[in-house]
Each structure stands twice: as structure tokens, then as C-alpha cells.
């Protein structure tokens, strides 16, 4: 059996509300996190909502990193999907935690594309 990728789902609660609404800081942290994780950035898109909130994705050769924030709730949803065993998603998470300062968080790891050797 082998897996094609690992998908991490992070739930961050009690975050710094100002940081959750700071598009530029989030963009920089997402890029820095991708680099520290050993991913290869190939593109990015970020958007600031009115009156508040940020969504963004860093497209990596290995798949993607994404974030969606709710400053009014102190909450951020982060996904990191990678199809490279050498990528270290927790290093990207550490960068985001430093910026967002959650009071609590959870992580779920999903194995994607699990199949028998030979493609089935």
C-alpha cells in the first residue's frame, strides 16, 4: 500500500483578531511556512473580505497551502496538502502559530490516494 499525499487540516481557535485580518502578514507567513516546509511555491492568491477576514492559497508544486480566517470569531481554518514525503507541513504550521497565536488548535492528518502498489 502507498499513499499519494498527506492532507493536514488545522483548526486554530482564540487567535489574535488583528492578525487574522492582516492580509499582508498572512501572505508573508504562508509563503515563509511553505518555504520552511520544503515546498516549491509556483503561485499564490489572497483576498481581503469586507468588513473583515482573509482567504488565501499558496500553490506549491507538491499541491497547496490554504487559509480562511474569521477575525470576529478568533478562528482560522488551514489546509496543507502535499504529495511529497520530504515536505514537512508542521514547519509551516509553526510559522502560522507564531503569527496568529491561537489559544488552542487541533490537527487532523488524512492519507490521500491510498492504493495498492501498481495503482489499484
Does residue 8 lie in a domain region?
Answer: no
Give the pLDDT score at 115.
82
Q: Please give the residue range of the domain that contains residue 79.
A: 15-103
Cis preceding-peptide flag for 62 (omega within 30 of 0): no
Does residue 2 lie in a domain region?
Answer: no
Give the pLDDT score at 3.
85
Is 7 known to be catalytic? no
Q: Which of 15, 47, 64, 68 is catalytic?
A: 68
- Distance from first CA to last CA of the chain, Å, rounded? 9
Does residue 109 lie in a domain region?
Answer: no
- In angstroms, rounded to a whole number, what is the distance separating the alpha carbons of residues 79 and 11? 9
Q: Which of 7, 47, 64, 83 is catalytic?
A: 83
Give the pLDDT score at 18.
98
Q: pLDDT tens digits, the chain, 120 residues: what are they?
A: 678 899 999 999 999 999 999 999 999 999 999 999 999 999 999 999 999 999 999 999 999 999 999 999 999 999 999 998 889 999 999 999 999 999 999 999 999 988 877 666
Is 68 known to be catalytic? yes
Does residue 112 lie in a domain region?
Answer: no
Is 47 known to be catalytic? no
Number of domains in the chain: 1
- In angstroms, rounded to a whole number, what is the distance separating the alpha carbons of residues 37 and 117? 27
Q: Which of 63, 64, 66, 104 is catalytic?
A: 63
Does residue 47 lie in a domain region?
Answer: yes
Give the pLDDT score at 82.
94
| Residue 42, domain CATH | 3.60.90.10
Amino acid at each position: 500500500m502507498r499513499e499519494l499525499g498527506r492532507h493536514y487540516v488545522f483548526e486554530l481557535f482564540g487567535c489574535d483578531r488583528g492578525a487574522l485580518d492582516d492580509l499582508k502578514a498572512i501572505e508573508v507567513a504562508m509563503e515563509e511556512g511553505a518555504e520552511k516546509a520544503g515546498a516549491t511555491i509556483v503561485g499564490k492568491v489572497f483576498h481581503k473580505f469586507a468588513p473583515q477576514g482573509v482567504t488565501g492559497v499558496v500553490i506549491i508544486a507538491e499541491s497547496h497551502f490554504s487559509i480562511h480566517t474569521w477575525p470576529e470569531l478568533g478562528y482560522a481554518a488551514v489546509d496543507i496538502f502535499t504529495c511529497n514525503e520530504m515536505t514537512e507541513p508542521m514547519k509551516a504550521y509553526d510559522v502560522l502559530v507564531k503569527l496568529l497565536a491561537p489559544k488552542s488548535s487541533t490537527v487532523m492528518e488524512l492519507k490521500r490516494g491510498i492504493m495498492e502498489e501498481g495503482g489499484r
